[in-house]
Structure 1
Amino acid sequence: MRILLLGASGYVGGALWSEWSARHTVVGTCASRPVPGLVPLDLRDQEALRRLLDQGFDLVVHAAGLVDLSDAERQPELARQLNAASVATLRDAVRGTGTRILLLSTDNVFDGTADTYTEGDERAPVNAYGHSKRAAEDALIGADALVGEDAFAGADAPAGTDGRLADGRLVDGHLVVRIPLVYGRSPIADRFMARFDGPRTPARTDLVCAPVYLPWLPGALEELWDRSGLLHLGGAQVVTRYELMTRIRDALALPTEVVPVSGDDPLPAPRRPARLVLRSVHHGLLGPGLDDALGDMVRGGPAGRP
């Protein structure tokens, strides 16, 4: 398969680039930080993106954009341009070419008030990053296709020749995959592990998640990328941010002190949803639990393919 990977220089994108390049022809892009072997691309440059697409691809994976919640809160218009407007440009550029798009989205499209979230649940973002990703989802497959019990097209319900399902939803074969907090080592931009570099690592005790182990993610996405519509990926284990960071620190014998903090402490914006646990009603994939993932990290994996 010939793949264009937007954001191959990022934390998640770097892992996708490293894994997929062994089995597919992958053209990856980078943004502000040059990386050997990657194509520089500003997502706001519509003509540059279209020229790149002229090379011809079977699949475009959008793993780029402004992903730091605090940066997005400070620069909401930049978040909109990089996270949402670029998706609209991409969608228009591939229309009629047969090229499909896989958009990585986020659990931050939800407000964190439910025990779990499946594909049909109502979105209610509480921060600028979540709003920008909701707009990105809407740009790719439409708001009406993203809410309700049947918020999924799937391999068994292919889009018609006009790009619509029987109920009128516009799909065009594209796929949105929402992912939660991701942890583990990345071969290019190890943003997550950099949190342990200092003597003290603050971690929230009141934020609950079902995080995904990064080396597991490329294989899971590969299992799903022939589908269309909307899917969730989540980890098997539900933990607080503090529990996750403490377990990683202990497993790797890192010298940093993990400091428990909560919403009562003076923390910077943005608002963060209290509980984000993604589950799918359309497939049985779950990321490995912490014991397996941390064992892999200690051994210097990557393991844990679906």
Structure 2
Amino acid sequence: MILLVDKTVIIGCGFLGSKIFTNLKNNNKKVIGTNFQNTSNEFKKLDITNFDFVNSFLNKEKPDLVINCAANTDIDYLEKNEKFANMVNGIGVKNIAKTCKQISSKLIHISTDSVFDGTLGLYTEEDDVKPINVYGKSKLLGEELLQENLDDFIIIRTNLFGYHHQGKFLFNWILRNLKENKEFTGFEDIIFNPLEISFLSDLILKFGNMEYSGIIHLGSDEIINKYNFGCEIADTFGFNKKLIKKGSIEHSSLIAKRPKNTSLSNLKAKKILKMNFPSLKEQILKIREEIKINYNDKQSH
């Protein structure tokens, strides 16, 4: 059954949230966006750790749908700051869920593949969760608190990639190193199946218009390690993939433990949506077309 969503509030207009916001705006939908830092006049400031602020804001806006993208994802920082992690990624979600119940709003909450320990891979929605770092534990806390406080929800576990103008993300880091002809390491023992951010945004909104409640996994069809992911980007953009050296997470200086294979089964999602997903190559090509950076650009500088 298709639901009529008249007004949407997006909490946490960072990388993914701002993409969903723009998607809705471009389709002339009623949408309000928030972020914590309020760096843009387009978004309203909202601290999700303060229940009174969340309650007042959502009661005023009364959206049909709330999409929560707010989170702190700095894994190594959170490993040393567990209380802060639980406040933002746990209690913050509870505050949103409690208010959504009051005003009868549906909530889509963006979670992570890091709620799994990474020993199996291709995790289904029914598989046992067992996070191995503070970030994963705090995101799981958010999932649990949400389910305790609200019935009409969708928890989307995913891993995403894309190009961001501020350059803080994995895709940018890989592309920048390739463009600057710098050698770097790609982990062979970290395996995932991420989705390109624009496509992920479309899928999230499709679920927002469906009468579905529960947990859903969104990931690409292909399972890939970080080394091969880097090589795929190099090939697609026409850079030298020999710059990427094979390495292991075991020899890295990262503080928090990382689950090694967090790939997610997308079978349930594809069955519900009745659609196929583009290949990783197609998703990376889409980014190349959008940002128009390739080997020829590099040669001309």
Give TM class, smaller chain: 0.7 to 0.9
Structure 2 SS opposite 1:20: helix
5 Å-filtered alignment, 1:77-226, equals 77-142=83-148, 172-180=151-159, 182-186=160-164, 191-196=169-174, 197-198=176-177, 199-225=182-208, 226=210
User: How far is 1:25 from its partner?
Assistant: 1.3
User: How far is 1:228 from its partner?
Assistant: 0.8
Say which of 23, 38, 45 aligns to 1:40.
45
User: How far is 1:234 from its partner?
Assistant: 0.9
User: How far is 1:260 from its partner?
Assistant: 2.8
Q: Hey, what does 1:15 align to over in structure 2?
A: 19
Alignment partners' CA distance in 2, 1:83 and 1:286: 31
- Does the 8 A contact of 2:121 with 2:264 survive in 1? no
Alignment partners' CA distance in 2, 1:296 and 1:123: 33
Alignment partners' CA distance in 1, 2:167 and 2:9: 19
Q: Hey, what does 2:82 align to over in structure 1?
A: 76
Alignment partners' CA distance in 1, 2:107 and 2:172: 30
User: How far is 1:129 from its partner?
Assistant: 0.8
Alignment partners' CA distance in 2, 1:195 and 1:187: 12
- Does the 8 A contact of 2:218 with 2:269 survive in 1? no
Structure 2 SS opposite 1:95: helix
- Does the 8 A contact of 2:163 with 2:172 survive in 1? no
User: How far is 1:68 from its partner?
Assistant: 2.0
Alignment partners' CA distance in 1, 2:68 and 2:196: 19
Alignment partners' CA distance in 2, 1:200 and 1:28: 39
Q: 1:21 corresponds to which letter in structure 2?
A: K
Q: 1:282 corresponds to which letter in structure 2?
A: K
Stretches of structure 2 that go unaligned for 5 or more consecutive residues are 1-5, 293-301
Alignment partners' CA distance in 2, 1:286 and 1:292: 13
5 Å-filtered alignment, 1:51-66, equals 51-53=56-58, 54-66=60-72
Q: 1:239 corresponds to which letter in structure 2?
A: I
Q: Provide the aligned C-alpha RMSD in A.
A: 2.3
Change (3 A) 1:207 1:286: farther
Alignment partners' CA distance in 1, 2:268 and 2:285: 29
Cα deviations across residues 222-241 of structure 1 (Å, max 9, x unaligned)? 22222111111111111101
Cα deviations across residues 32-84 of structure 1 (Å, max 9, x unaligned)? 36123011222222222222112211111110110121122122211111111
Change (3 A) 1:281 1:80: same
Q: Is residue 275 of structure 1 aligned with residue 261 of structure 2?
A: yes
- What percentage of aligned pairs have identical amino acids? 21
Q: 2:157 corresponds to which letter in structure 1?
A: R
User: How far is 1:261 from its partner?
Assistant: 2.2
- State which drifts further: 194-203 or 216-225: 194-203
- State which drifts further: 235-244 or 223-232: 223-232
Q: Hey, what does 1:150 align to over in structure 2?
A: none
Alignment partners' CA distance in 2, 1:40 and 1:187: 21
- Does the 8 A contact of 1:175 with 1:230 survive in 2? yes
User: How far is 1:286 from its partner?
Assistant: 5.6
Say which of 220, 226, 229 aligns to 1:241.
226
- Does the 8 A contact of 2:123 with 2:262 survive in 1? yes
Alignment partners' CA distance in 1, 2:268 and 2:245: 38
* Count of residues in correspondence between the two structures: 273
- Does the 8 A contact of 1:44 with 1:81 survive in 2? yes
Alignment partners' CA distance in 2, 1:38 and 1:25: 13
* Greater share of residues in helix: 2
